[in-house]
Amino acid sequence: MIFEKDVGTDDDGRPIYKRVEVDDIRRDNAEDYTLVGDKAWITVHNISVHIARKDDGVSVSLYPLNHEDGDSITETWATYGEAMVEQQKPFSYDEYPCGII
Protein backbone atom coordinates (compact mmCIF):
# COMPACT_ATOMS: atom_id res chain seq x y z
CA MET A 1 0.00 0.00 0.00
CA ILE A 2 1.32 3.47 -0.88
CA PHE A 3 0.58 6.53 1.20
CA GLU A 4 0.94 9.87 -0.57
CA LYS A 5 0.50 13.30 0.97
CA ASP A 6 0.91 16.84 -0.29
CA VAL A 7 3.51 18.39 2.04
CA GLY A 8 3.84 21.84 0.51
CA THR A 9 5.23 23.46 -2.59
CA ASP A 10 8.70 23.88 -4.07
CA ASP A 11 10.31 27.21 -5.04
CA ASP A 12 8.36 27.22 -8.32
CA GLY A 13 5.01 26.67 -6.58
CA ARG A 14 4.68 23.02 -7.66
CA PRO A 15 3.23 20.62 -5.07
CA ILE A 16 5.63 18.37 -3.19
CA TYR A 17 4.41 14.91 -2.26
CA LYS A 18 5.73 12.30 0.13
CA ARG A 19 5.25 8.69 -0.97
CA VAL A 20 5.85 5.92 1.52
CA GLU A 21 5.06 2.24 1.76
CA VAL A 22 2.68 2.03 4.70
CA ASP A 23 3.64 -1.52 5.67
CA ASP A 24 7.21 -0.40 6.38
CA ILE A 25 6.45 2.71 8.42
CA ARG A 26 4.28 3.74 11.35
CA ARG A 27 2.76 7.20 11.47
CA ASP A 28 3.43 8.67 14.92
CA ASN A 29 1.75 12.04 14.36
CA ALA A 30 1.08 14.52 11.56
CA GLU A 31 4.79 14.91 10.68
CA ASP A 32 6.68 12.03 12.31
CA TYR A 33 7.04 8.45 11.14
CA THR A 34 8.94 5.43 12.47
CA LEU A 35 10.58 2.90 10.17
CA VAL A 36 9.25 -0.47 11.37
CA GLY A 37 10.32 -2.50 8.34
CA ASP A 38 13.75 -2.81 6.80
CA LYS A 39 13.37 -0.05 4.21
CA ALA A 40 11.07 2.64 2.85
CA TRP A 41 10.93 4.95 -0.15
CA ILE A 42 9.78 8.56 0.16
CA THR A 43 9.25 10.77 -2.87
CA VAL A 44 9.98 14.49 -2.53
CA HIS A 45 9.24 16.39 -5.75
CA ASN A 46 11.59 14.70 -8.28
CA ILE A 47 13.81 12.87 -5.77
CA SER A 48 13.28 9.36 -4.42
CA VAL A 49 14.66 8.94 -0.91
CA HIS A 50 15.57 5.39 0.15
CA ILE A 51 15.91 4.78 3.89
CA ALA A 52 17.29 1.39 4.93
CA ARG A 53 17.76 -0.17 8.34
CA LYS A 54 21.12 -1.94 8.68
CA ASP A 55 22.49 -4.12 11.49
CA ASP A 56 24.63 -1.28 12.83
CA GLY A 57 22.74 1.83 11.68
CA VAL A 58 20.77 3.52 8.92
CA SER A 59 21.60 4.41 5.32
CA VAL A 60 19.89 7.07 3.21
CA SER A 61 20.27 7.29 -0.57
CA LEU A 62 18.83 9.86 -2.99
CA TYR A 63 17.88 8.95 -6.57
CA PRO A 64 16.31 10.84 -9.48
CA LEU A 65 12.59 10.02 -9.53
CA ASN A 66 11.83 6.95 -11.68
CA HIS A 67 15.55 6.07 -11.90
CA GLU A 68 15.86 4.24 -8.61
CA ASP A 69 17.58 1.25 -10.25
CA GLY A 70 20.50 3.44 -11.39
CA ASP A 71 23.26 5.23 -9.53
CA SER A 72 22.28 7.31 -6.52
CA ILE A 73 22.84 11.08 -6.51
CA THR A 74 24.28 10.90 -3.00
CA GLU A 75 24.32 8.63 0.03
CA THR A 76 24.94 8.91 3.74
CA TRP A 77 24.77 6.65 6.76
CA ALA A 78 25.14 6.70 10.53
CA THR A 79 25.65 3.99 13.09
CA TYR A 80 23.38 3.68 16.11
CA GLY A 81 26.44 4.30 18.30
CA GLU A 82 27.16 7.61 16.54
CA ALA A 83 23.63 8.77 17.25
CA MET A 84 23.76 7.88 20.94
CA VAL A 85 23.58 10.90 23.24
CA GLU A 86 24.35 10.94 26.94
CA GLN A 87 20.68 10.64 28.00
CA GLN A 88 20.21 7.55 25.80
CA LYS A 89 23.22 5.57 26.97
CA PRO A 90 22.29 2.11 28.25
CA PHE A 91 21.97 1.63 31.99
CA SER A 92 25.18 0.44 33.61
CA TYR A 93 25.51 -1.22 37.02
CA ASP A 94 29.15 -0.12 36.98
CA GLU A 95 27.98 3.47 36.97
CA TYR A 96 25.08 2.87 39.42
CA PRO A 97 26.06 -0.21 41.48
CA CYS A 98 22.99 0.01 43.76
CA GLY A 99 20.61 0.29 40.83
CA ILE A 100 19.50 3.77 41.94
CA ILE A 101 19.48 6.54 39.40
**For residues 32 and 30, what is the distance between their CA atoms, to the nearest angstrom?**
6
d(CA 94, CA 83) in angstroms, rounded, equals 22
- Domain chopping of the chain, boundaries: 2-88
pLDDT digits (tens, 9 = 90+) for 9-41: 777 877 766 665 567 888 888 888 888 889 998
For the chain, where are the E strands, in sequence order? 2-9, 15-21, 25-27, 33-35, 39-44, 47-53, 57-64, 74-79
pTM of the model: 0.63
Higher pLDDT, 16 or 76: 76
